[in-house]
Amino acid sequence: MVATAYTAIPVPSGNMRTGIHSSDPKIVLARNLSAAFKKRGLSARSVSRALARFGMKISNKTVSNMLNGEGNPQLDNLVAVAQQTRIPLWQLLSPAFDPSQIGTPDLHELVEGILNLSETGRASVRRTIKLEALAAREEKQAAKT
C-alpha cells in the first residue's frame, strides 16, 4: 500500500476537487497531464490516435485514466504519452511542475538537437515528420467530409 501525504497547499490548477495538494503520483500526473493537454489542445482520443500511427496501441480509455488519476499506468504508456505531449516524463511526475512554462523550443534548439543526432536519428526525425504531415492531411480530409 502506498502512503499519500497531503498538505494544505492550494492546488495550482482548478481541476482538483479536493482543494488540497496531493503528492500521490497518480494525482500529480493527472494534474500535470491535464494542464499539458489543455495547453497543447490535445484530447485522450487525439493522443491515442497519434500514438497508433507510431505503432503504440494505447486506448483512449488508458489515456483518459491517466488524465483522471485512475488505474495503474504502465511505464511504457507513460513514456509514450509524455513524448506525445513533448514534455519529459520526470516533469509530468513532478509536484512542482509549472504548466505555464510549457512552450515550444526555440528553432535554434531544434536545429541544434537534430544536427547532434546520428544519421539513423535524423532518418527517424524525417520519417516522423512525414508521418505527422500525412496524419495532418488525413485529419483535414476527414474534417471536410
Domain boundaries, the chain: 1-102, 104-145
- DSSP bridge partners of 21: 7
Read off the pLDDT of residues 8-60 as tens digits, 9 standing for 90 and up: 333 444 444 443 456 678 888 899 899 888 888 889 999 998 888 888 889 99
Which residues are 6's β-sheet partners? Answer: 22
Give the DSSP letter of residue 10.
P
Q: Strand, coil or helix: what is 21?
A: strand
Give the single-character DSSP code of 34.
H
Count of alpha carbons within 13 angstroms of residue 85, beta-carbon side: 29
In this prediction, what percent of the chain has a pLDDT beyond 90? 12
Give pLDDT, residue 106: 53
Q: CB within 8 A of 10, min separation 6: which ones?
A: 19, 21
What is the pTM for the complete model shown? 0.55
Nine cell digits for residue 49: 490516435
Would you state the cell numbers that stand for residue 102, as one nine-digit string?
A: 510549457
* Measured distance CA(58)–CA(76) in Å, rounded: 10
Identify the top-confidence range among 7-11, 88-92, 109-113: 88-92
Residue 80: which H helix or E strand, with range? helix 75-85
Looking at the structure, give the CATH architecture of the domain made up of residues 1-102. Orthogonal Bundle (1.10)
Q: Which amino acid is at 121?
A: G
For residue 123, give every residue at least 6 positions away whose Cβ sits within 8 Å of its Cβ, in sequence order, or none.
none
Render pLDDT for 54-77 as a digit per residue (tens, 0 to 9).
888 899 999 999 999 998 889 889
